[in-house]
Amino acid sequence: MASLFALANPKRFMDLSAALLPWLAAAAALCLAAGLILGFLAPPDYQQGDTVKLMFLHVPAAWTAMMAYGVLAAASFVGLVWRHPLADVAAKSAAPLGAVFTVLGLVTGSLWGRPMWGAWWVWDARLTSFLLLLFLYLGYIALWNAIEDELRAARAAAILGLVGAVLLPIIEYSVNWQTLHQGESIFRAGGPTIAGVFLWPLGFSALGYSLLFFTLWTVRIRTEILERRLRAVLLMGAA
């Protein structure tokens, strides 16, 4: 915990993230390129043909959307318990990115559902709970914008962020309830049940999406810190 608090010092965060950022961005770009190229070149699946390519776009987007919410909820928790402003900034900075990945998961899922299920959308547990994740992100962002006082906004948003985390296990387990969506085939007892030729591009793609999220998240946290410093400088100038 001590090291976490050391990192939570904005000055130290700025120094460390500046050093880390180029590496993070490069790793994200490499993994994304590898995942997308390998995925594009993957052979057609024996059942779903070329639409298997959609897996490398849809699954990583959906995973990253959920991971981003996990990050948001964890930062909210730290912000609520230890009242650290950097944790509030970290939670706030994750939300718009999470919303983008959620939209991507929904749109690519729909484009996959139409040819494979014959429906763009069905109101089953998995799809509906994932749509709720989008609304949760949007509500969280709206709450931040609705309250002018930064501290009060951070408190309220952190509570919503934390409470909303109940959605994550619901999304996770919803594939076991009446659904068209396929069940877990990667992280399951007995190992993944998809062929290596699909598993590799999926792995790179997922890693690339997560690293892209962490890269952009870091930049957004830095931006928010700079903007707060900017406001402080302006206030001092006005006083």
Nearer to other proteins, 162 or 201 (CB): 201
CB of 26 to other proteins, least distance (A): 14
CB of 62 to other proteins, least distance (A): 12
Nearer to other proteins, 32 or 162 (CB): 32
Q: CA 94 to CA 79: how far, in whole Å? A: 14
Does residue 130 sit in helix, strand or coil? helix
Does residue 127 sit in helix, strand or coil? helix
Nearer to other proteins, 62 or 80 (CB): 62
Nearer to other proteins, 50 or 184 (CB): 50
Instruction: Confirm if 79 and 91 have CB atoms less than 8 A apart.
Output: yes
CB of 222 to other proteins, least distance (A): 6
CB of 169 to other proteins, least distance (A): 26
Contacts of 19 (CB under 8 A, 6+ apart): none
Nearer to other proteins, 4 or 233 (CB): 233
Nearest to 104 by CA among 129, 126, 134, 125: 134
Q: Which residues bind other proteins (CB under 8 A)?
A: 44, 49-51, 53-54, 57-58, 61, 97, 100, 103-104, 107-108, 111-112, 114-115, 212, 216, 219-220, 222-223, 226-227, 229-230, 233-234, 237
Instruction: Confirm if 208 and 32 have CB atoms less than 8 A apart.
Output: yes
Any idea which residue has 């608090």 for tokens?
A: 5
